[in-house]
Structure 1
């Protein structure tokens, strides 16, 4: 069971093939035409839509510290509420390259835009897994 960023890194390290991690940082937003009930719920941390604002791929050794990843994400100037993480396995002892990660990362962003987030690990700004829904 993965309940934190640290658990994710341990799981990636335990895989037989080297991994590449895909990150999509999202901001919670409320549509302009939201009802008063939706606005009240959103003010209490419920509802809204997750909009991807930043995405990046990294080798696990490049992001062994979640705080450093958060700091790097903040340098973009984009505020975010949750980051979704996925992993890609390498082949033959070679980790996937950043170029190889681009199409899966793009597909991940589109999947999140459509609300299909079940295949990804959602983490809060402290690196703890969060339950969505």
Structure 2
């Protein structure tokens, strides 16, 4: 019987990544909400209120789970390097045969992740707010 693990916080994500049989590299894409250049005043107001707009990638990084003590340390480090982020997307990239992922695999997957986020294709990633709370995002059509 497979065990199920519910991710209720960023620290749950870290814990799960650390418990995997293969070494993991965590991939993160930091975003902020922006409005289109041809926005209406209502769209601009919605973005200012934290609603609407689109999520634009502003930074990305890969980190081994053992390098992150917990969400508070992650947040402090992120805030020292990334200005005005609102949501961070996360994924875990497993290694193979007890070896961590290669730098090439990490770069390729980060690039793919950034492009997916830029295109609004985020269903395959975890999303966390600035409190480390997992988010369920929806898209407007």
TM-score computed with the length of structure 1 as normaliser:
0.90
Deviations 1:9-34 (A, max 9, x none): 12112322111100111011111321
Deviations 1:93-128 (A, max 9, x none): 122244431110011001100000111100011111
- Partner of residue 55, structure 1: 60
Is the CA contact (8 Å cut-off) linking 2:14 and 2:70 kept in structure 1? no
Is the CA contact (8 Å cut-off) linking 2:33 and 2:50 kept in structure 1? no
Give 5+ residue unaligned stretches, structure 1.
Answer: none
Runs (4 or more) in structure 1 with deviation over 4 Å come to: none
Give, in whole Å, the separation in 1 of the partners of 2:43 and 2:84: 21
Give, in whole Å, the separation in 2 of the partners of 1:11 and 1:74: 24
Q: CA RMSD in A?
A: 1.6
State the aligned residue count: 133
TM-score computed with the length of structure 2 as normaliser:
0.85
Change (3 A) 1:121 1:66: same
Deviations 1:33-55 (A, max 9, x none): 21233233323322111111111
